[in-house]
Amino acid sequence: MAGNVVELNDGTFDEHIKDGLCLIDFWAPWCGPCRSQTPIIEGLAGKVGDKVKIGKLNVEEAPQTATKYSVMSIPTLIVFKDGEEIKRLVGVQNEETLLEALGI
């Protein structure tokens, strides 16, 4: 992944979100809107630096985590703070909306 975006899976997800502020993009490679979201996420990662951990979770490769968080549509972007979901956005989101969701 480009920039500070971390590719997550069922085994790494909980560890990644447990501390601090995190934005996770739930996506799949066949999803056109998800592909549109990717450059926005990568640009955001460059802007927020170490303030926010940003990850992507392929729902086809990590079905347990997608099911655990009831992800029904993709892209779904979830903001976590210290392991707890604090905000959920469904569909392609622009950078401004994501910064607002992160409180930045």
Q: List, by residue number, the catalytic residues.
A: 31, 34
58 and 12 Cβ atoms separated by less than 8 Å: no
DSSP classification of residue 34: H
Residue tagged 């502020």 (tokens): 21
d(CA 92, CA 37): 6
Helices and strands (DSSP H and E) totals, the chain: 4, 5
Q: Starting at the edge strand that comes first in sequence, how are the strands of the sheet with 76-81 ordered?
A: 5-8, 53-58, 21-27, 76-81, 84-90
